[in-house]
Structure 1
Amino acid sequence: MRPPTNHRRPSSHGVTRALAGDQRPGEDHQFQTISILRPRRPGARKALKLVPPETPHHRERIGDPALARALERRVEGDVRFDSHARAIYATDASIYEVEPIGVVLPRTSDDVSATLELARSEGIPVLPRGGGTSQCGQAIGHAIVIDTSRYLNRVLAVDPAARTATAEPGVVLDHLNDLLSPAGLMFPVDVAT
Protein backbone atom coordinates (compact mmCIF):
# COMPACT_ATOMS: atom_id res chain seq x y z
CA MET A 1 0.00 0.00 0.00
CA ARG A 2 1.40 3.39 -0.99
CA PRO A 3 1.40 6.31 1.45
CA PRO A 4 -0.96 9.19 0.67
CA THR A 5 0.52 11.73 -1.74
CA ASN A 6 0.66 14.38 0.96
CA HIS A 7 2.83 12.08 3.14
CA ARG A 8 6.55 12.77 2.74
CA ARG A 9 9.21 10.42 3.98
CA PRO A 10 12.37 11.90 5.47
CA SER A 11 15.30 11.78 3.10
CA SER A 12 17.92 9.17 3.85
CA HIS A 13 20.49 11.06 1.75
CA GLY A 14 21.98 12.73 4.83
CA VAL A 15 22.38 9.37 6.53
CA THR A 16 24.14 7.97 3.48
CA ARG A 17 26.49 10.95 3.43
CA ALA A 18 27.23 10.61 7.15
CA LEU A 19 27.97 6.89 6.87
CA ALA A 20 30.22 7.50 3.89
CA GLY A 21 32.14 10.13 5.87
CA ASP A 22 30.96 12.77 3.40
CA GLN A 23 30.09 16.21 4.67
CA ARG A 24 28.95 19.39 3.05
CA PRO A 25 31.11 22.47 3.65
CA GLY A 26 30.25 23.96 7.03
CA GLU A 27 28.70 20.75 8.38
CA ASP A 28 30.22 19.56 11.61
CA HIS A 29 28.28 16.54 12.75
CA GLN A 30 29.46 13.48 14.57
CA PHE A 31 26.19 11.76 13.91
CA GLN A 32 23.26 12.15 11.62
CA THR A 33 19.75 12.26 13.06
CA ILE A 34 16.95 10.60 11.15
CA SER A 35 13.27 10.52 11.96
CA ILE A 36 11.55 7.29 12.87
CA LEU A 37 8.72 6.65 10.42
CA ARG A 38 6.36 4.94 12.88
CA PRO A 39 3.74 6.99 14.68
CA ARG A 40 5.15 8.24 17.95
CA ARG A 41 3.78 7.02 21.24
CA PRO A 42 4.31 8.81 24.54
CA GLY A 43 7.80 8.17 25.87
CA ALA A 44 9.13 6.78 22.58
CA ARG A 45 12.48 7.96 21.30
CA LYS A 46 12.06 10.69 18.73
CA ALA A 47 15.22 10.10 16.71
CA LEU A 48 17.95 7.59 16.08
CA LYS A 49 21.56 8.75 16.27
CA LEU A 50 23.93 7.07 13.86
CA VAL A 51 27.69 7.20 14.24
CA PRO A 52 29.76 6.54 11.14
CA PRO A 53 31.22 3.03 11.61
CA GLU A 54 34.73 4.06 10.70
CA THR A 55 36.74 7.09 9.78
CA PRO A 56 40.20 7.42 8.27
CA HIS A 57 41.39 8.32 11.80
CA HIS A 58 40.58 4.80 12.99
CA ARG A 59 42.48 3.15 10.14
CA GLU A 60 45.53 5.29 10.89
CA ARG A 61 45.65 3.79 14.40
CA ILE A 62 45.97 0.16 13.18
CA GLY A 63 48.94 -1.35 15.01
CA ASP A 64 49.69 1.99 16.75
CA PRO A 65 52.61 1.25 19.13
CA ALA A 66 51.82 4.25 21.38
CA LEU A 67 48.27 3.00 21.86
CA ALA A 68 49.58 -0.52 22.57
CA ARG A 69 51.98 0.84 25.23
CA ALA A 70 49.19 2.87 26.84
CA LEU A 71 47.03 -0.27 27.06
CA GLU A 72 49.92 -2.38 28.40
CA ARG A 73 50.33 0.11 31.27
CA ARG A 74 46.63 -0.19 32.16
CA VAL A 75 45.74 -3.88 31.80
CA GLU A 76 46.99 -7.14 33.32
CA GLY A 77 45.91 -9.16 30.30
CA ASP A 78 47.58 -9.50 26.93
CA VAL A 79 47.85 -6.62 24.46
CA ARG A 80 48.51 -7.69 20.87
CA PHE A 81 49.02 -5.09 18.20
CA ASP A 82 51.46 -7.06 16.01
CA SER A 83 50.59 -7.87 12.39
CA HIS A 84 50.17 -11.60 13.10
CA ALA A 85 47.57 -11.05 15.86
CA ARG A 86 45.75 -8.46 13.75
CA ALA A 87 45.62 -10.93 10.83
CA ILE A 88 44.11 -13.62 13.06
CA TYR A 89 41.44 -11.25 14.41
CA ALA A 90 40.68 -9.81 10.95
CA THR A 91 38.38 -12.76 10.25
CA ASP A 92 35.50 -14.57 11.90
CA ALA A 93 33.20 -17.30 10.56
CA SER A 94 31.95 -14.92 7.85
CA ILE A 95 33.43 -14.26 4.42
CA TYR A 96 34.63 -10.79 5.48
CA GLU A 97 38.09 -9.63 6.48
CA VAL A 98 38.67 -6.35 8.34
CA GLU A 99 41.94 -5.62 10.11
CA PRO A 100 41.46 -4.45 13.70
CA ILE A 101 43.45 -1.66 15.35
CA GLY A 102 44.72 -4.15 17.92
CA VAL A 103 43.59 -6.83 20.35
CA VAL A 104 43.24 -6.93 24.13
CA LEU A 105 42.75 -10.23 25.98
CA PRO A 106 41.54 -9.05 29.40
CA ARG A 107 42.17 -11.11 32.53
CA THR A 108 39.66 -9.19 34.67
CA SER A 109 36.63 -6.96 34.33
CA ASP A 110 38.92 -4.10 35.40
CA ASP A 111 40.96 -4.75 32.24
CA VAL A 112 37.79 -4.40 30.18
CA SER A 113 36.94 -1.12 31.96
CA ALA A 114 40.45 0.26 31.48
CA THR A 115 40.37 -0.61 27.77
CA LEU A 116 36.98 1.05 27.35
CA GLU A 117 38.12 4.18 29.20
CA LEU A 118 41.25 4.56 27.06
CA ALA A 119 39.36 3.88 23.83
CA ARG A 120 36.75 6.47 24.79
CA SER A 121 39.39 9.10 25.57
CA GLU A 122 41.11 8.39 22.24
CA GLY A 123 37.87 8.29 20.23
CA ILE A 124 38.51 4.72 19.10
CA PRO A 125 35.75 2.11 18.70
CA VAL A 126 35.86 -1.17 20.59
CA LEU A 127 34.55 -4.54 19.51
CA PRO A 128 33.78 -7.24 22.09
CA ARG A 129 34.51 -10.74 20.81
CA GLY A 130 33.94 -14.24 22.14
CA GLY A 131 34.37 -17.23 19.87
CA GLY A 132 34.41 -15.29 16.59
CA THR A 133 31.53 -17.44 15.35
CA SER A 134 29.63 -14.64 13.62
CA GLN A 135 28.61 -15.59 10.12
CA CYS A 136 27.71 -12.00 9.27
CA GLY A 137 30.90 -10.14 10.26
CA GLN A 138 29.88 -8.76 13.67
CA ALA A 139 33.11 -9.96 15.32
CA ILE A 140 35.43 -7.95 13.04
CA GLY A 141 36.05 -4.26 12.43
CA HIS A 142 38.47 -1.32 12.56
CA ALA A 143 38.42 -1.23 16.37
CA ILE A 144 40.21 -2.46 19.46
CA VAL A 145 39.01 -6.04 19.74
CA ILE A 146 38.36 -7.16 23.32
CA ASP A 147 38.59 -10.97 23.19
CA THR A 148 37.12 -12.45 26.36
CA SER A 149 37.50 -16.10 25.33
CA ARG A 150 41.07 -16.57 26.65
CA TYR A 151 40.71 -15.60 30.33
CA LEU A 152 37.11 -14.52 31.05
CA ASN A 153 35.52 -17.86 30.18
CA ARG A 154 34.25 -19.38 33.42
CA VAL A 155 30.80 -20.32 34.65
CA LEU A 156 30.68 -18.60 38.05
CA ALA A 157 27.44 -20.00 39.46
CA VAL A 158 24.52 -22.25 38.57
CA ASP A 159 21.25 -22.09 40.51
CA PRO A 160 18.95 -24.86 39.23
CA ALA A 161 16.09 -23.81 41.54
CA ALA A 162 16.08 -20.29 40.11
CA ARG A 163 16.96 -21.64 36.64
CA THR A 164 19.84 -19.16 36.34
CA ALA A 165 23.53 -19.28 35.59
CA THR A 166 26.14 -16.56 35.97
CA ALA A 167 28.97 -16.74 33.46
CA GLU A 168 31.80 -14.60 32.17
CA PRO A 169 31.39 -13.27 28.61
CA GLY A 170 33.87 -15.66 26.98
CA VAL A 171 32.27 -18.89 28.19
CA VAL A 172 31.89 -21.66 25.62
CA LEU A 173 28.24 -22.61 25.18
CA ASP A 174 28.95 -26.36 25.30
CA HIS A 175 30.82 -25.95 28.61
CA LEU A 176 27.86 -24.05 30.08
CA ASN A 177 25.42 -26.70 28.87
CA ASP A 178 27.61 -29.49 30.30
CA LEU A 179 27.26 -27.87 33.73
CA LEU A 180 23.50 -27.32 33.31
CA SER A 181 22.75 -30.82 32.01
CA PRO A 182 22.76 -32.67 35.38
CA ALA A 183 19.94 -30.35 36.51
CA GLY A 184 17.98 -31.06 33.33
CA LEU A 185 18.61 -27.53 32.03
CA MET A 186 20.25 -26.10 28.94
CA PHE A 187 20.89 -22.74 27.30
CA PRO A 188 19.27 -23.37 23.91
CA VAL A 189 20.41 -20.32 21.95
CA ASP A 190 22.56 -20.92 18.86
CA VAL A 191 24.99 -18.02 19.05
CA ALA A 192 26.52 -18.53 15.60
CA THR A 193 25.01 -15.36 14.16
Structure 2
Amino acid sequence: MTKRVAILISGGGSNMIKLAQSMTGDHPARPVLVASNDPAAAGLDVAREMGIETAAVDHRAYGRDRASFEAALLAELERAAPDIICLAGFMRVLGAEFVSRWEGRMLNIHPSLLPKYRGLDTHARAIAAGDTEAGCTVHLVTPALDDGPILGQARVPIRADDTPQSLAARVLEQEHRLYPAVLRRFAEGERQPLMLD
Protein backbone atom coordinates (compact mmCIF):
# COMPACT_ATOMS: atom_id res chain seq x y z
CA MET A 1 0.00 0.00 0.00
CA THR A 2 1.37 3.42 -0.95
CA LYS A 3 2.41 5.56 2.00
CA ARG A 4 1.07 9.10 2.24
CA VAL A 5 3.71 11.75 3.03
CA ALA A 6 3.22 15.27 4.40
CA ILE A 7 6.19 17.65 4.25
CA LEU A 8 6.59 20.65 6.57
CA ILE A 9 8.65 23.63 5.41
CA SER A 10 9.38 27.22 6.43
CA GLY A 11 11.12 28.64 3.36
CA GLY A 12 12.12 27.72 -0.17
CA GLY A 13 11.77 24.02 0.44
CA SER A 14 14.75 22.68 -1.51
CA ASN A 15 14.67 19.39 0.42
CA MET A 16 10.88 19.23 -0.03
CA ILE A 17 11.37 19.54 -3.79
CA LYS A 18 13.90 16.69 -3.85
CA LEU A 19 11.63 14.51 -1.71
CA ALA A 20 8.59 15.18 -3.90
CA GLN A 21 10.56 14.60 -7.11
CA SER A 22 11.77 11.26 -5.76
CA MET A 23 8.27 9.95 -5.01
CA THR A 24 7.41 8.73 -8.50
CA GLY A 25 7.38 5.45 -10.39
CA ASP A 26 7.81 2.43 -8.13
CA HIS A 27 8.48 4.57 -5.03
CA PRO A 28 6.43 3.25 -2.08
CA ALA A 29 5.21 6.74 -1.09
CA ARG A 30 3.54 9.83 -2.55
CA PRO A 31 3.39 13.45 -1.31
CA VAL A 32 -0.12 14.44 -0.22
CA LEU A 33 0.54 17.77 1.53
CA VAL A 34 3.16 20.49 1.87
CA ALA A 35 2.45 22.71 4.88
CA SER A 36 4.26 25.74 6.26
CA ASN A 37 4.22 28.01 9.29
CA ASP A 38 4.77 30.93 6.88
CA PRO A 39 2.07 31.69 4.28
CA ALA A 40 4.74 33.48 2.19
CA ALA A 41 7.11 30.49 2.07
CA ALA A 42 8.32 30.18 -1.51
CA GLY A 43 8.16 26.40 -1.27
CA LEU A 44 4.36 26.52 -1.12
CA ASP A 45 4.21 28.00 -4.62
CA VAL A 46 6.60 25.35 -5.89
CA ALA A 47 4.51 22.58 -4.30
CA ARG A 48 1.36 23.92 -5.94
CA GLU A 49 3.15 23.99 -9.29
CA MET A 50 4.06 20.32 -8.68
CA GLY A 51 0.39 19.53 -8.10
CA ILE A 52 0.69 18.92 -4.36
CA GLU A 53 -1.93 20.17 -1.89
CA THR A 54 -0.66 22.96 0.36
CA ALA A 55 -1.60 24.52 3.68
CA ALA A 56 -0.27 27.43 5.73
CA VAL A 57 -0.70 28.00 9.45
CA ASP A 58 0.96 31.32 10.32
CA HIS A 59 2.64 30.85 13.70
CA ARG A 60 2.78 34.64 14.19
CA ALA A 61 -1.01 34.80 14.47
CA TYR A 62 -0.79 32.70 17.64
CA GLY A 63 1.83 34.77 19.47
CA ARG A 64 3.26 32.71 22.31
CA ASP A 65 0.36 30.23 22.24
CA ARG A 66 2.25 27.29 20.76
CA ALA A 67 -0.47 24.82 21.71
CA SER A 68 -3.06 26.60 19.57
CA PHE A 69 -0.65 26.88 16.64
CA GLU A 70 0.11 23.18 16.87
CA ALA A 71 -3.60 22.33 17.12
CA ALA A 72 -4.25 24.25 13.89
CA LEU A 73 -1.30 22.56 12.18
CA LEU A 74 -2.48 19.19 13.42
CA ALA A 75 -5.93 19.81 11.93
CA GLU A 76 -4.37 20.44 8.51
CA LEU A 77 -2.27 17.31 8.79
CA GLU A 78 -5.17 15.14 9.88
CA ARG A 79 -7.17 16.27 6.85
CA ALA A 80 -4.37 14.94 4.65
CA ALA A 81 -4.10 11.70 6.69
CA PRO A 82 -0.36 11.15 6.19
CA ASP A 83 1.43 7.95 7.16
CA ILE A 84 4.78 9.77 7.35
CA ILE A 85 5.70 13.39 8.09
CA CYS A 86 8.97 14.85 6.83
CA LEU A 87 10.32 18.03 8.38
CA ALA A 88 12.29 19.78 5.64
CA GLY A 89 13.60 23.10 6.89
CA PHE A 90 10.66 23.54 9.25
CA MET A 91 11.94 26.19 11.64
CA ARG A 92 9.58 25.71 14.58
CA VAL A 93 10.29 23.54 17.60
CA LEU A 94 7.33 21.21 18.06
CA GLY A 95 6.01 20.36 21.51
CA ALA A 96 6.09 16.93 23.10
CA GLU A 97 2.35 16.33 22.68
CA PHE A 98 2.46 17.09 18.95
CA VAL A 99 5.58 14.98 18.42
CA SER A 100 4.13 12.06 20.39
CA ARG A 101 1.07 12.06 18.11
CA TRP A 102 3.37 11.10 15.21
CA GLU A 103 5.90 9.04 17.14
CA GLY A 104 7.87 6.73 14.90
CA ARG A 105 6.46 8.37 11.76
CA MET A 106 8.07 11.84 11.74
CA LEU A 107 11.47 12.38 10.10
CA ASN A 108 13.76 15.40 10.18
CA ILE A 109 16.96 16.35 8.39
CA HIS A 110 19.57 18.24 10.40
CA PRO A 111 22.76 19.84 9.00
CA SER A 112 25.29 18.17 11.27
CA LEU A 113 26.59 14.72 12.12
CA LEU A 114 24.37 14.14 15.11
CA PRO A 115 24.78 13.83 18.04
CA LYS A 116 27.20 16.72 17.36
CA TYR A 117 25.80 20.23 17.06
CA ARG A 118 22.13 20.04 17.81
CA GLY A 119 20.25 23.28 17.19
CA LEU A 120 21.45 26.21 15.08
CA ASP A 121 24.73 27.48 13.54
CA THR A 122 25.97 23.96 12.96
CA HIS A 123 28.51 24.79 10.23
CA ALA A 124 30.14 27.66 12.13
CA ARG A 125 30.35 25.47 15.23
CA ALA A 126 31.98 22.59 13.32
CA ILE A 127 34.58 24.93 11.78
CA ALA A 128 35.28 26.64 15.12
CA ALA A 129 35.81 23.26 16.76
CA GLY A 130 38.47 22.35 14.20
CA ASP A 131 36.48 19.36 12.91
CA THR A 132 37.76 17.68 9.75
CA GLU A 133 34.31 16.67 8.55
CA ALA A 134 30.72 17.81 8.74
CA GLY A 135 27.55 16.49 7.17
CA CYS A 136 23.87 15.91 7.66
CA THR A 137 21.62 13.48 9.50
CA VAL A 138 18.11 12.17 8.97
CA HIS A 139 16.55 11.05 12.22
CA LEU A 140 13.24 10.18 13.78
CA VAL A 141 11.77 13.11 15.69
CA THR A 142 11.39 12.81 19.46
CA PRO A 143 10.42 15.48 22.01
CA ALA A 144 14.13 16.19 22.63
CA LEU A 145 15.64 18.57 20.05
CA ASP A 146 17.57 16.83 17.25
CA ASP A 147 17.82 13.71 19.37
CA GLY A 148 15.88 10.83 17.79
CA PRO A 149 17.21 7.55 16.38
CA ILE A 150 19.47 8.12 13.35
CA LEU A 151 18.17 6.81 10.01
CA GLY A 152 20.98 8.07 7.80
CA GLN A 153 24.03 10.31 7.53
CA ALA A 154 26.17 11.80 4.78
CA ARG A 155 29.65 13.19 5.41
CA VAL A 156 31.41 16.19 3.89
CA PRO A 157 35.10 17.05 4.45
CA ILE A 158 35.77 20.46 5.94
CA ARG A 159 38.35 22.36 3.89
CA ALA A 160 40.93 24.72 5.34
CA ASP A 161 39.36 27.70 3.54
CA ASP A 162 35.74 26.83 4.35
CA THR A 163 33.33 29.44 5.63
CA PRO A 164 30.00 28.51 7.20
CA GLN A 165 28.39 29.47 3.88
CA SER A 166 30.65 27.37 1.65
CA LEU A 167 30.34 24.39 3.97
CA ALA A 168 26.55 24.80 4.15
CA ALA A 169 26.32 24.71 0.35
CA ARG A 170 28.21 21.41 0.13
CA VAL A 171 26.26 19.88 3.00
CA LEU A 172 23.00 20.89 1.30
CA GLU A 173 24.03 18.93 -1.80
CA GLN A 174 24.35 15.86 0.41
CA GLU A 175 21.01 16.58 2.11
CA HIS A 176 19.41 16.42 -1.33
CA ARG A 177 20.90 12.93 -1.82
CA LEU A 178 20.37 11.58 1.66
CA TYR A 179 16.80 12.57 2.53
CA PRO A 180 15.12 11.00 -0.53
CA ALA A 181 17.16 7.81 -0.10
CA VAL A 182 16.26 7.51 3.58
CA LEU A 183 12.59 8.28 2.95
CA ARG A 184 12.33 5.52 0.37
CA ARG A 185 13.91 3.00 2.71
CA PHE A 186 11.74 4.18 5.60
CA ALA A 187 8.56 3.84 3.52
CA GLU A 188 9.65 0.30 2.69
CA GLY A 189 10.01 -0.49 6.40
CA GLU A 190 13.82 -0.28 6.61
CA ARG A 191 15.09 1.31 9.84
CA GLN A 192 18.81 0.50 9.67
CA PRO A 193 20.86 3.71 9.24
CA LEU A 194 22.00 4.53 5.71
CA MET A 195 25.53 5.93 5.59
CA LEU A 196 26.54 7.85 2.46
CA ASP A 197 30.04 9.13 1.66
TM-score (ref. length: structure 2): 0.25
Higher RCO (CA < 8 A, seq sep 6+): 2
Q: Which has the higher strand share?
A: 2
TM-score (ref. length: structure 1): 0.25
